[in-house]
Amino acid sequence: MAGSISNLGHNTAAKKNHSAGIRGIAKQSATSEARWIRWSLISIAMLFLALFLILPLVIVFTEAFAKGMGVYVAAITHPDAAAAIKLTLLAAAIAVPLNVVFGLAASWAIAKFQFKGKQIVITLIDLPFAVSPVVAGLIYMLLFGAQGLFGHWLMDHNVRIMFAVPGIVLATVFITFPFITRELIPLMQEQGKEQEEAAITLGANGWQMFFRVTLPSIKWALLYGIILCNARAMGEFGAVSVVSGKIRGQTNTMPLHIEILYNEYQFAAAFAVASLLALLALVTLVLKSALEWKAAREHEIAVLTAQAQ
């Protein structure tokens, strides 16, 4: 009897070791490749980045300064360029705060509450990702243009939306509003609502709960969404080109001004203004990386603190 139990124990141990060996081999084969395969994949990725990201950026800045610093400064300080830069900053300055308010409200409602039509709301939030920006601009033209649904009423009351700043802001808001919401919803869903419920139980009102409990826990995702939203707002072309009318010095944003300069064969000036947008992209990338590092660092400190306790 004792011998049978001993044999059974040896067989069980052998099976466990065999299973562990199989799992180890499977894990090793699934996570390790031959050196030449790794280097080939890395080379392909680096070549792709060099051709489609680094090289275009180098060309933009090279062409921008090809005729000297004087031509570059003259191009970006030209009255039409200055007006385009000012309008781009104005549109972003209006659109981003509006999207922050909408993003926080929509994310809060979707992540914290259950209601009928919730999936429809989520689908509508993703609509700007699915619809062409040009189509979005045409939608606003059909609503607020001279021959649009509200066009006659607007003309009778001397209200201009299309071919003016309000139309540009509306198009920019439509194109950019998913960015903040899409950054916040997954995080807020993962966090749940236990902390907010605890704050309410302890006597906090709605604003205290938001500013002292909710906002600190989502601040990095919110800042990340704001950065992406701002970069997209400043670089928007399709929808704005439809609703702006491309009036020099009045309704031209930076991307539209670049297109006009390029079509007029003013390549140095076009690349000079384009370099400002490229610089914005680089600054956005640096801020994005800094926020990701800061958020990861805080998470690591929080985990170590929890383990120490």
- Tens digit of pLDDT for each residue in 137-163? 999 999 999 888 999 999 999 999 999
Given this model, what pLDDT does residue 26 score? 47
Instruction: Report helix, strand or coil for 77.
Output: helix
The DSSP result for 133-156, as a single string, is HHHHHHHHHHHHSTTSTTHHHHHH
The conformation of residue 306, written as its DSSP 8-state character, comes to: H
The string of pLDDT tens digits covering residues 20-50 is 454 554 444 545 678 888 899 999 999 999 9
Mean pLDDT (whole number) for 100-112: 92
pTM over cut 0.85: no
Q: Residues 6 or more apart from 280 whose CB is under 8 A from it?
A: 231, 234, 235
Mean pLDDT (whole number) for 59-76: 93
The string of pLDDT tens digits covering residues 177-230 is 899 999 999 999 888 888 888 888 888 888 888 888 888 889 888 988 998 899
Q: What is the mean pLDDT of the chain?
A: 86
Phi-psi region of 201 (alpha: psi -120 to 50; beta: other; left: phi over 0): alpha
Angle between helices 165-176 and 133-144 (to 10 degrees): 140
Write 44-51 long-range contacts (CB < 8 A, 24+). none
Q: Which single residue is written with the structure tokens 């141990």?
A: 13
* Residue 174 to residue 46: CA distance in whole angstroms: 35
